[in-house]
Structure 1
Amino acid sequence: MKIFHSIKSFSSNNQTIVTIGTFDGVHLGHQKILKQITKSAQELHCESLVLTFFPHPRMVLQKDTEMKQLNSINEKLELLDNLGIDNLVIHPFDKEFSRLTAEVFVKQVLVDVFRVKKIIIGYDHRFGRNRTATIDDLNSFGETYGFEVEQISAEQINEVSISSTKIRNAILEGNVEIAASYLGYNYPITGIVSKGNQLGRTIGYPTANIKIVDDHKLIPLNGVYVAKSVINGATFYGMMNIGTRPTVDGSTQTIEINFFDFNQDLYNQNITVSLLKRSRNEQKFESLDALKNQLGLDKIAAQDFINQFVKKN
């Protein structure tokens, strides 16, 4: 997949099949649409192209809106690449771009830069300055400039909308298993392993502390989770805590994972951890010994779950 960080930087000798959207989560609903793009591109001997934006348009146009997203940019890149998309254009969204009229956007972007042969878009998609242009306008532009418009059905749009809402709610509630059923994959958290206070080592449960680089990443509900990670080509399982570590009077949220049967140095490495199941709430214990005893029980329960998970997958 070729990646372009602005519309102007895109270049290809071929015509394109285009879709536009934020595609946060690249979940099963999105995947259905994106597969439609790649299929159409193959049939028409064109290249598939996804136009997306960063920051999210709502971050620019609605400054008081706090936008937490399901994917970091890098996570989204990997998901789109796995779907066989030929070109991804990540355009920096700003107020100047938002003021483009619909016809200027169609002529100067879709036609002149992307050489669009077909655009596949939702029936209720609005675009252009103040989002005033509708699918009817796009059909009219298609006739004028010689490209086809394919509408995604209302049923598909509803599927996308509903599953996005369900995913966000599930993550915020800590129900990562339900989230995975809509995403089509286990919810990932990506970050840099940094040094913590190394308290886990003193009670027999050393942890890798993960510092999230992307401020807009949606973090699940505090608690203990069963998780996995692929490190140097091998899959390792473990238990992760998201929370403030109340037993040792912590005050800020941390994300730390204890990998089972693992003794590699991960400091300063970038790793992705996928959450499989939420085991319990975070809680304050009366002593470190009490915490250690609970961690022993957590590990037994996690290993039982992992054994079943591996068999199913």
Structure 2
Amino acid sequence: MKTFQSIYDFQPKNKTVLTLGTFDGVHIGHKKIIEKLIQNSSWCECESLVLTFFPHPRMVLQDNTEIKLLNTIDERTELLQKSGLDNLIIHPFDQAFSRLTAEEFVSSILVDQFNVKKIIIGYDHRFGRNRTADIHDLIEFGQKYEFEVEQISAQEIDEVSVSSTKIRNALTEGNVKLANDYLGYNYLLSGIITKGKGIGRTLDFPTANLQIQETYKLIPKNGVYIVQSLLENKLVYGMMNIGFNPTVNGESKSIEIHFFDYEGDLYTKNIQIQLVDRIRDEVKFENLEKLKEQLYKDKTVALHYIKSL
């Protein structure tokens, strides 16, 4: 897959079959649409193309938006890379782009820039300045500029919408297993490992502190999780705490991972954590000794679970 950071960087060699959207989560509903896109492009010997935007349009057009996304833009790119697409464009969404009229978007971008043969789009898709144009306008533009429009059915759109909502709700409630079922993969947290206070080491549970740069990334409910990560090309399991460390009167939220059977130095490295399941809520214990006892119990639960995989 070739990735482009702007619409204007893309120069197709053939006609294209296109779909567009945020594709946040790149979950099982999205994958059905992408499979349809790739299948259509194969039939007509065209290039498959996904157009997505960053920042999310709501971040630009709505003041004080609290939108939380399932993927960082790097995670989204990595997931789409695995889908078999020919091309991905991540175009910077800004006020100027939002002011393009519907016909300007169609003629200057879909036709002139993308050499589009077919666009696969949701029946409820709206586009152009103030989102005034709909699928019927797009079909008329298709007749005028000689490209085909295939509508994604209401049922398929509902599947995508319901999946996204259920994934967000499940993660907010700590139900990682359900979220992973809808995603079709384990939920991801990506970031840089930074130094913490070192309290975990005094309890025989040294932790790696994950610092996530993207403030828009959805962080699951506070608690203890079973996780896995690919470290130096080896799959390593561990347990992770999301929360405020109330036993030691923590004042800020942190994400700390204790890896099993790993001795390497991870400080300053970018790593990706996959959430496998959730063990329990975060609890304030009477003292550090009680916390240490619970950590051993958590480890036993995690190792038993891992053996069952």
Give the TM interval when normalised to the shorter protein.
Answer: over 0.9
Shift of 1:122: 0.4
Give runs of aligned pairs for residues 1-313 of structure 1, distance below 5 A.
Answer: 1-309=1-309
Q: Equivalents in 2 of 1:129, 1:19: separation in Å?
A: 19
- For residue 96 of structure 1, report the CA deviation from its aligned partner: 1.2
Q: Deviations over 1:287-312 (max 9, x none)?
A: 11100000000000011111112xxx
Cα shift readout 1:51-80 (whole Å, capped 9, x = no counterpart): 111111111111122111000111111110
1:247 maps to amino acid: T
Amino acid of the structure 2 residue aligned with 1:172: T
Using the alignment, how far apart are the partners of 2:291 and 2:161 within structure 1?
A: 41
Whole-Å Cα distance in 2 between the matches of residues 65 and 198 of structure 1?
35
Deviation at 1:280, TM superposition (A): 0.5
User: CA separation in 2, counterparts of 1:15 and 1:234?
Assistant: 41
Corresponding residue SS for 1:8: helix
Task: Give the drift of 1:227.
Answer: 0.5
**What secondary structure sits across from 1:276 in the alignment?**
strand
What SS is found at the alignment partner of 2:8? coil
- Over the matched positions of the two proteins, sequence identity in percent amounts to 59
User: Structure 1: which amino acid aligns with 2:31?
Assistant: Q
Distance 1:72 1:57 in 2: 15
Which segments of 5 or more consecutive residues in structure 1 lack a partner in the other structure?
none
SS in 1 for 2:22: coil
CA distance in structure 2 between the partners assigned to 1:214 and 1:281 by the alignment: 24
1:237 and 1:283 mapped to 2: Cα distance?
22
Query: Structure 1 residue 13: deviation in Å?
Result: 1.5
Amino acid at match of 1:256: E
Normalization by structure 2: what TM-score? Answer: 0.99
Secondary structure, in 3 states, of the residue corresponding to 2:7?
A: coil
In structure 1, C-alpha distance between the alignment counterparts of 2:45 and 2:121, rounded to whole Å: 19
Question: What is the distance in 2 between the residues matched to 1:262 and 1:5?
Answer: 37
In structure 2, what is the Cα distance between the partners aligned to 1:54 and 1:102?
Answer: 20
Code of the residue aligned with 1:280 in structure 2: it is R
SS in 2 for 1:215: coil
Partners of 1:191 and 1:40 in 2: CA distance: 36
Deviations 1:215-263 (A, max 9, x none): 1110000000000001111101010000010111101000010011111
Residue by residue, what CA displacement relative to the aligned partner does 1:73-92 show, whole Å, maximum 9, x if unpaired?
Answer: 11111110100111111111
The whole-number CA distance in structure 2 between the counterparts of 1:262 and 1:52 is: 38
Partners in 2 of 1:298 and 1:13 — Cα distance? 55
Instruction: Determine the C-alpha separation between the residues in 2 that align with 1:91 and 1:75.
Output: 16
Which deviations, in whole Å up to 9, do the C-alpha atoms of 1:83-131 show, x marking residues without a partner? 0111111111111111111000000000000000100000111111111
The whole-number CA distance in structure 2 between the counterparts of 1:113 and 1:63 is 31
Q: CA deviation at 1:15?
A: 1.1
Paired residue type of 2:208: A
Q: List 4+ stretches of structure 1 deviating above 3 A.
A: none
TM-score calculated relative to the size of structure 1:
0.98
Q: CA RMSD in A?
A: 0.7
Once the two structures are TM-superposed, the CA of residue 9 in structure 1 deviates from its matched residue by: 1.3
Give ranges in structure 2 of 5+ residues lacking alignment: none
Distance 1:267 1:128 in 2: 46
User: How far apart in 2 are the matches of 1:82 and 1:52?
Assistant: 16
C-alpha separation in 2, matches of 1:37 and 1:233: 32
What are the Cα deviations for residues 110-167 of structure 1, in whole angstroms up to 9, with x where unaligned? 0000000100000111111111111111111111111111111111001011111000
